[in-house]
Amino acid sequence: MQWGIPSQNEEDGPQGVADGVKDVTCWPSALTIVSSWDRSLYNQFGVAQAEEQKTKGSNIILGPMTNIARVPVGGRNFESTGEDPVLASAYVSQYVKGVQSQGIMACAKHYADNNQESSRGTVSAIVDERTQWELYYPHFQAAIDAGVGSFMCSYNKINGTYACENDKILNKDLKGKMGFKGFVMSDWGATHSTVQAANAGLDQEMPTSNFFGDALMSAIKAGQVPESRLTDMAQRILTPMFALGMFDRTNPGTTDTPARSTEHDTLSRVLAENTAVLLKNDGGILPIPSSVRSIAVIGKAGHWEPVVHGGGSGSVIPPYIITAFQGLEEAAPITTTVKYDDATDLQSALKLAASSDVAIVVASVFSHEGQDRFDLLLGGGQDNLIEKIVQVQPRTIVVLDIAGAVEMP
């Protein structure tokens, strides 16, 4: 703290407190939670996220991540709110309100038109005015209407100009037409200039001061950046901090403070239960009838290599993992046997599937920040595995733990 101003402790967290912090809840992803279509759950998720952020000493959560999933192979689609700006707006509004009800500031990101991870630092999104306002801005407007304290501008260029030094999207649209009163921080390393970025509406360079340290002071002294712009930056940063009570209390939390709770474990399960999507139920195979005496769980994702989060700044260290095999083994009646095969040996997996009453194939796709997926396939021979299992066992259930869209031949 300096001059009585509390430090901003910013932390990633679309799926939970990130950056290697332990003893936190690994929540279902935002793309999962938005599938519930339940505003109450969106709000509860925001509240619980903020509680854990506060416990770990954070006062600004770098979320919601609300980029429209326009590129199906997008590496961070698991963090996002899907393809529909109306649904995304409903989620963002309740999430922001939930987070900030706990005195933690939310940060709407990544503004704007951030649709891909591959080449994200050089690509230019060419977007016309109508598309911008109808598709890419509504969910950010919803965050503003919910009172969000901060925005994060994205890595990409927009119509040829970097987002974090783009006068059109920052000054004219965000702070002008959309009425945002808080501050804009850059994504990590997304600041490319001093004078242009400052005058275009960027308020905070993250995580360094290469452009907004001594260079900004020199630019102000030289008359290249008005002193009133510096005053505006300070006001925009401090105002939401005052509004959220950051000046009225200290946060004793540290990254070593345990943040998990029984209540959060329960909520995490409720979120997962209410957001799973059933695509097909041919023959009424679900729920599994009580007459079933043997279940085969097949696939690496079913036990040995479960996928419970994505990679990058959205990754979380899970305190525990209950695999599909473990869960079924625990839940099955005493009269039902549950066996597992990772399908490394295809013939072994086929034999187990054929000899069981029901086969459950668990397949997965992992993705991460910084690079898009190469295709929409399940990969690793998983499509072939599913086809072969179905041939020997017509009563087959396929469970997909996936980071976004996949082909399902």
CB environment 344-353: b (16+ within 10 A), e (fewer): eeeeebbebb
CB environment 145-170: b (16+ within 10 A), e (fewer): ebbbbbbbbbbbbbeebbbbbbebbb
Nearest one of 247, 287, 327, 353 to 7, comparing CA atoms: 247
| Contact present, 364 and 72 (Cβ < 8 Å) | no
Whole-angstrom CA distances from 11 to 3, 31, 62 are 23, 20, 6
Rounded to 5 degrees, φ, ψ at 74 are: -50, 130
Q: What's the N-to-C CA distance of the chain in angstroms?
A: 57
Nearest one of 10, 15, 8 to 369, comparing CA atoms: 15
Active-site residues: which are they?
187
Rounded CA separation 218/18 (Å): 36
Rounded to 5 degrees, φ, ψ at 126 are: -95, 110
Rounded CA separation 74/198 (Å): 30
Tokens of 186: 């850059």
Whole-angstrom CA distances from 67 to 31, 70, 121, 138 are 11, 8, 16, 11
Tokens of 212: 């907004």
Rounded CA separation 398/68 (Å): 27
Beta strands across the sheet bearing 60-62: 10-12, 60-62, 105-111, 150-153, 183-186
Rounded to 5 degrees, φ, ψ at 346 are: -60, -40
| Contact present, 200 and 166 (Cβ < 8 Å) | yes
What is the DSSP annotation of 20-55?
Answer: T--S---PPPHHHHGGG--HHHHHHHHHHHHHHHHH
